[in-house]
A and B are shown apart, each in its own frame.
Chain A
Amino acid sequence: MKKVAITRQEQKELTRSGLIQTATRLFAKNGIANTATADVAKAQKVSHGTVFVHFPTREDLILAVIDEFATKLSQEFGNCMQQSDLRKLLVFHLEVLAEYEDFYHRLISELAHLPPKVQSMVFMLNAAISWKLYESAKPLMESGHLKKMSQPFLFNTWIALVQYHVMNRELLSDKLPILKEKKNEMIDHFINLIQTQKGERK
């Protein structure tokens, strides 16, 4: 009896993650606002009711996709925070975003028109990244290796660089994901911008 319950739970989990995968693909391909939960049901060959059980609205589906890459990010960050290596942090950020770049491209292009909760979640995720970044940069600012700047300007300079490249990725790179192609250049450039002469010598 107990075994059956576990199998059913596992089946539910499988369905759920399958729906998230399909939604990620459709959001990326057709746009987020252009994808309805019914489209996800059709592509996944399940009933609309099945989608509804897991994700009553499109908003819930979008949030689930964001949740997935947010979880990946925080796992990667958790692993690298012991040594609080700034470069590693930036590498992980770009690597996770590159994996979701097709979706991320749609997300930031459509953000102003997406449900308010989605906007709140995106800026909450960025808030967490901003804290990690500042946490690892602060000691280096105090030791004179990095230029002194405020937390918002440190983070906004970085995210502006990242998002501009993603927004215009077809123009700026022959190959996609652009965040994979330009990863090292972008990180080198950013570190160059924020470090002092003392930091350069190190």
Chain B
Amino acid sequence: MSAKCKSCGSCGMPMEKVEDFALGDSNHQYCQYCTDKKGKLLPYDKILAMNAKYYMESQGITADAANKLAVNLLKTQPAWKEIL
């Protein structure tokens, strides 16, 4: 999002430490959670479900509402803008 601080091109999470990046590589465009062991981007459905779960567990947001929040979160991210 901001020019200074890198954020994951899939979920938008700010990436500060090297561990935050896929494969621990600070040049990677995605975060460790959005990628598999080889650094490949996970399918959209998985990432959507992961983010929805994060909303639900942290604040007690209902499944439907959490799903909507996650859809709107991912909608404008570089990784998903094209396909959605």
Chain A residues within CB distance 8 Å of chain B? 12-13, 16, 63-64, 67-68, 70-71, 74, 78, 116-117, 119-121, 123-124, 126-128, 130-131, 134, 150-153, 155-156
Contact = CB atoms under 8 A, between A and B. Distances in A.
Contacts, number: 65
A64 B69 contact: no
Contacts of A131: 58
14 contacts: A16-B3, A71-B5, A74-B16, A117-B75, A119-B69, A119-B72, A123-B55, A124-B73, A127-B55, A127-B58, A130-B58, A131-B58, A134-B58, A152-B60
Interface of B: 1-5, 12, 14, 16, 51, 54-55, 57-61, 68-70, 72-73, 75-76
Contact of A117 (B16, B61, B73): B73
Given A120-B70, A123-B61, A64 B55 contact: no
Given A124-B55, A127-B59, 5 more contacts: A13-B3, A74-B16, A123-B61, A128-B58, A152-B58
A68 B7 CA distance: 13
Which 10 A-B residue pairs are closest in the complex by CB-CB distance?
A152-B60, A130-B58, A127-B58, A116-B72, A120-B73, A120-B72, A120-B69, A67-B1, A67-B2, A152-B59
Nearest to A153: B60
Nearest to A54: B3
Nearest to B69: A120
Contacts of B60: 150, 152-153, 156
B71 to A, nearest CB: 8
Interface of A is mostly: helix
A44 to B, nearest CB: 17
Given A120-B69, A120-B73, A124-B73, A71 B2 contact: yes
B49 to A, nearest CB: 15
A149 B3 CA distance: 39
Given A153-B60, A155-B58, A70 B72 contact: no
A119 B69 CA distance: 7
Given A124-B12, A151-B58, A152-B57, A63 B73 contact: no
A78 B19 CA distance: 14
Given A123-B59, A127-B59, A156-B60, A117 B76 contact: yes
